[in-house]
Structure 1
């Protein structure tokens, strides 16, 4: 089968690799019909992680079931399914508590928890930027889709990661009807957080970024765009909230946050959120932060530490939730919103391309080139 193979920093290629196959009775084999390039893939693409050369990416996956293991009872051949990026067993202590983002079975390092397809330090699971994907614990991990699965695949594929992740940010932030919510980052996850805040009834959603194409997308769903290359975003939020600050906020950037000049400041969005959110407000952090970052520009960040304004955070009595999203906690409800026409997450999609175009797509997406807001790869399509 063909797959998008990591060759080293800033280089991927489309190569033939061994076919994915059923390995255990609980496995499901999926022919991939849509797989997204994620902002998290760019951390690995740029060489900022220990992702091994020769492995292939892809944790936002959707497709058609073409084979099932002998112990699979629910999923059948022909089902259209979308796969949570979390690989989860369904029966460990964390999975039983609904924390499939921290499965203890799928992660082979016993001191760690959490696994994902095609992701650094998250188990041996192959990615789905390929023609086929092996799905372990298939009955648990497959979310079956309705008759409109192919027609609305650009919406449903967002259920693999970014739509539930954006929703998780608003859940941790406690967004409620009437709230004023600020979101730092208008990448795909930030835009999904903005959409989720709107779905949850926020009266005002403010989105901070500096890329005009992304800010236009935020405005297209009714959010207030704040360009931090032109104004101080904290001042702008305070002006929008009568000087009190937002009720809650979401961090959707992560450790590679940088200023308009391109200099990295991994603490910038977190500290701006502390200043932007009111006393006793709540912050949800889904941007990726990692325990070690050898490629960082300062010594603290190299050790996974950042200079966080904890004193002000404590003084303001704020709360913060962190971590990856437990996709299965939200994906059924969000699927049904899509099916009912209440949510159209595909508004962020800028390019739908065949798998062979992945190297060029990675380069454009990594450069944040204008108009490259979200890429869906379609194995089997031709250029």
Structure 2
């Protein structure tokens, strides 16, 4: 995914001939991921994690292939279709973190989820560094240089689909349901939006977790996408901007296992609250940094990633264990759908805020959103409780 993201805007500009249209490729990928999150979750609710995850990676691979074809025939509409489908792979990655919790012991759920999040570090760091090699490989295959990374991405997504299809056996969600039935519980299939709304209304942990996920993602995306522009306007070299973004990605993923341990040890609400505090500190550092390169903005972006990690792991765990088995996948998919749409809207608003009021004003706007995360954490703390017995998975 990261190797494709690195060149999506460049390919869009090359194919469309317009710099103004270049951002549409990434926008469609974000929207595609948001919609696919709910659709794939619905498939998982009926057929299990293995089928849903495999489908997501296959759709992503098909999208990567369409991006290559669009570059060859120079079709901008086809490129947008390709990037939209590519978003399905992001949705599958997001749902994979939930699959880790299906059979985890209650006291180890966050750690199980955090290991999947941590694994993202490998691809997120390695992917962009393979861009140059992938471009040369594309030329060797007879396709445009900018489509080479998508050839590599398609191969990686097909490999992911193969791994999940072959090795995710037995299916963790189906085993958890069988365990619930064996204990005398009833598991319904084919949930609906009405059922999702009912769960959100009656399960405080679901509402708090979903709100924290959406707000934390909006804060991270809005500030992260505008920071390179803020640094560039101050004369920072592209290499320095790249280092700052790499430090940010490090904060997002590298410490996930530690965050997972803390979430299990100190509780979901406590880690959500800590995430809100870290995000506020990060915004204070970034918002008061001068335009260009500085240690302050690097520290701010690192803490922005770390705060996102705290909120995402704690919020995802809280959401998963608070939702009943019969609606769990649809609730998770709906939460990721809202998270994606909120992030897309925040990214669009961020450009307007920076263009009219400046980068510091954006960090103030983001700080207002952080107060919502703090509120969700306090709400979760006051309504904290263990899941009902018939919702507990079998601990293996």
TM-score norm. by structure 2 comes to 0.27
Query: Quick check: which one's helix share is greater?
Result: 2
Query: Quick check: which one's strand share is greater?
Result: 1
More contact order relative to length (CA 8 Å, sep ≥ 6): 2
